[in-house]
Chain A
């Protein structure tokens, strides 16, 4: 079976929602990442067979973001494109689907990524108001129209934001993270320390140019946004300690400082069959070796699924945790990262050495545009593996609904 390799990729800078990318919608960001990913992979858009994009807060204006990317970049119109959703692991689904299509021989070159604008989330109407408006628009006479709207109450008029609570448990992400911190006994100071580490390593990643390699500037009006917007170089444990818990004000440990922020951004990688990469004379960053999706009961530990996906993916790859040289783990919350490490160890999968994990920081410092994070994690891992000449790398992302994914990359050559 052909092996899928990552030729290259790019992401936009990740910036806090409502800041530098406030005027850009999810398509603008996806376009920027895709166009830059193609340029940095030196792939002619004419060679692309398929485009797959992950996205969570779906825009109302169009239903298939990936296809809009193809059309708005004037890529050949024959390229089919689809948009996938698996909450924060959406871009991972895009990437593993792409890898499957390459492995299955149905596509040779695929762009896979994700995009999110948490500034421009689509607000919707309450079901009652929406039903009334649809009924009114279909009513033929003015009195009938009025009747349709008669039962709408003032409370029905407020717009509804996309769900932040788990539908099945009614808990927010943060509340779930608090639960995980309690169950796994992760103290506040450990969480703050992890957050500090994330910021420090991210700052270092920018200083030594490793992160710059994966980030393409985004040109807004007549200025360029070139760097991530959330990294705090001057953060200290003391400063982090002063922040109040957000989700459980009395006994909580999860603060804005040790959680990932709401972020705008996009990322994309270009995958190809190994054979095609060779024909193009291109040296890939890494190859997709194996992956695993799994899920847990959201009522238990909502974001723990990667601890269970990782051993499955390792088994499918035929390797152990100790064989892995570099790890990239999405940091929704420091509590979730530390819980995952703990559960991995408890379950006998092994201990991930801290110095091999998130070596350029993680989502807490870099930011977390839901639909794009999976692309960022895989791209960062692939770039770092290439730089180090690493044999194996492992990326994992947790997602709402109790989902989780782990992807094993290996040296391409």
Chain B
């Protein structure tokens, strides 16, 4: 749907590559086929040339007038993944809107064919791919784990723009359609069938035969708008619809705090279409798409998504060759370790865990089971697969069963001596080529590996909590590390379904370092008398998922102080003693007697004792809180690039957004710096003049060269 140039000029680009869509005339039974197979793209991403080829194929089908038509993919295990967003960053709103209309027109054309049309979904049908299937009379889906359908557009800051906001509610009813469009969730075969998105699921080997048979035998039917009377009422009856829409709008506003316009625009397009008819709905859809897709938000989110996709391969640059991963070990089955064990098992590895005694192991394995069943309930995997995943994890109170591990992740308490002891124990039993990954948020890996017989195979693997939700893993490559060992840890991170970034060893690495600096600055502000809740509120309003002081409480004040101590010492920064005083009074964070807030009270009020301890009266401030803290973060991120802790701005942006919750619509600290341009350095200099030299812009920011070319 997203194209670089106006459609007219794009229409001529087909010549530069082979056709992306082929019309295959009717076979002996009278079934014709439209085969999508973009020659230069493995996932059949939709671009202008593909739209044009599709338009031609649909026209050819109309002319051939077969008994039935199957719409299928020429790729193995891949139907069609949405828009080619390599092109989104350069098109104007008008061009994007026109592209949407073009795609809508082709879909309408397909939908209006006078014979039966069946989509044979053999692989992911995402975004535009699902919209293509929705324009067919019937959808048959291969029942295999990799085959998923969904409208992920809002996650990218855009909305379905090839009629998806119109056809989906008419097919499955307003409530379920809103759920899919607003959440961007993907559905596996069984759920897709239950939701009504597809009409039938079959074994992949039977897919084309079933589709051909249905193209001959099935009959066109009017779209019901839901499976139950209640769903149909919400789709077709004004008052019921208004209620469903207003509920959905409330949920969206609560979740996005109004920072993301895409879900609301999608909601509007759905509402207009159902109230005023499909042409009006398509009109609203196309207009919203043009505006959203050309907005900075969508461009930043799309750019970030692209970075994430590229990172899967790019992350291996300069590393060695990953070793095969079949057996994994996890030492320490606390909440973190259990999450790691579960991720490894879900990736298909056989996992052996260790904790201090049988009771601790039992607790860890129970957590693994719970995480797995919870995921199964959400449809991440099928129930039987969930049982198999849990069955891959066993454990004991010693290192029995570790001898065959390809990788062992130690996730014991953050204590240097303890971690060194674990590594010494592991070296007694592990194969020489097994990799030891140390999960730590701040302890230097070089220090942990010191004294090991083979320090070169010890690599840092910084997981974020909770492991099953957090998408980032920060891989720390200490000096002298074996490239193959680092690559193996990176491959493990990929296998766990996470995005890895590779950083150099240093106090706090990248993520803990930038976060510590920002939180320390928040402590300074508290010391200055700025109200605690005002600081957190300013940050969430800016787009951070949680304010720095509430985050400090959640991490635990002792743990946080422990992690940031080395970082701040290395940077020559003295943090105000507010945290030490709180800890001394027994305020150690959430679930630990309270911290900056008190948690015994359901309202979670600010802890007044903080102000008493500091001798300040809380006040609001005219200062731009979010700017001061976010710029602290950005400046430190840039310093990490200067010091080669970071390899690239891309990894810095991925790490900040995926690991620390840097507002995704800004694209990450480096993209944000690029967007602000010279204003970034100027703001930092202004802050430095007012607050001290710690704000002085770092070399990379002073250079005034964009991070992304």
Contacts and interface: CB of A to CB of B under 8 A. Distances in A.
B400 A44 contact: no
Contacts of A221: 362, 366
B582 to A, nearest CB: 33
A40 B388 contact: no
Interface size class of B (residues with CB under 8 A): 20 to 34
Nearest to A41: B401
A249 B350 CA distance: 54
A74 to B, nearest CB: 5
Contact of A39 (B326, B361, B391, B396): B396
B401 A72 contact: no
Contacts, number: 58
Interface in B350-382: 350, 352, 358-359, 361-363, 365-366
Interface stretch (A95-103, A222-230, A237-245, A375-383): A222-230
B387 interface: yes
Interface stretch (A30-38, A117-125, A147-155, A253-261): A30-38
A39 B358 contact: no
Given A72-B387, A224-B359, A226-B358, A35 B404 contact: no
B361 A45 contact: no
A224 B358 contact: yes
A24 to B, nearest CB: 13
Given A42-B401, A72-B391, A217-B361, A222 B396 contact: no
B566 interface: no
Contacts of B362: 217, 219-224
A39 B363 contact: no
A290 B365 CA distance: 40
A191 B391 CA distance: 43
Main secondary structure of the interface of A (DSSP, over half): mixed
B403 A222 contact: no
Contacts of B396: 36, 39, 216-217
B56 interface: no
Given A39-B400, A42-B404, A217-B396, A74 B350 contact: yes
Contacts of B403: 42
A146 interface: no
Interface in A34-71: 35-36, 38-40, 42-46, 71
Contact of B366 (A42, A73, A219): A219
Contacts of A45: 350
Contacts of A226: 358
Contacts of A39: 352, 394, 396, 400-401
A44 B327 contact: yes
A72 B385 CA distance: 9
Contact of B388 (A35, A38, A72): A72
A32 B395 CA distance: 10
A74 B366 contact: no
Contacts of A40: 400-401
B329 to A, nearest CB: 11
Contacts of B352: 39
Contacts of A35: 394
Contacts of A46: 326
Interface in A162-188: none
A139 to B, nearest CB: 31
Task: Kindly name the residue among B348, B362, B388 whose own CB sees the greatest number of chain A CB atoms within 10 A.
Answer: B362
Contacts of B365: 219
Contacts of A71: 388
A129 B346 CA distance: 44
Given A72-B391, A73-B392, A216-B396, A38 B359 contact: no
Contacts of B366: 219, 221-222
A74 B388 contact: yes
A42, A73, A222 interface centre (most CB from chain B within 10 Å): A222
B337 to A, nearest CB: 15
Nearest to B366: A222
A73 B401 contact: no
Contacts of A224: 358-359, 361-362
A44 B388 CA distance: 18
Nearest to B349: A74
Nearest to A34: B394
Contacts of B359: 223-224
Interface string A310-330: 000000000000000000000
A219 B400 CA distance: 16
B129 to A, nearest CB: 31
Contacts of B401: 38-40, 42
Given A44-B326, A219-B358, 14 more contacts: A35-B394, A39-B396, A40-B401, A46-B326, A72-B391, A73-B392, A74-B348, A74-B388, A217-B358, A219-B362, A221-B366, A222-B366, A224-B358, A224-B361
28 contacts: A35-B394, A36-B394, A36-B396, A38-B401, A39-B401, A42-B401, A43-B404, A44-B326, A44-B327, A45-B350, A72-B387, A72-B388, A73-B350, A73-B392, A74-B348, A74-B350, A74-B388, A74-B391, A217-B358, A219-B361, A219-B395, A220-B362, A221-B362, A222-B362, A222-B363, A224-B358, A224-B359, A224-B362
Interface of A: 31, 35-36, 38-40, 42-46, 71-74, 216-217, 219-224, 226
- The 9 A-B pairs of least Cβ separation, nearest first, read A39-B401, A224-B358, A222-B366, A224-B362, A44-B404, A42-B403, A219-B362, A217-B358, A35-B394
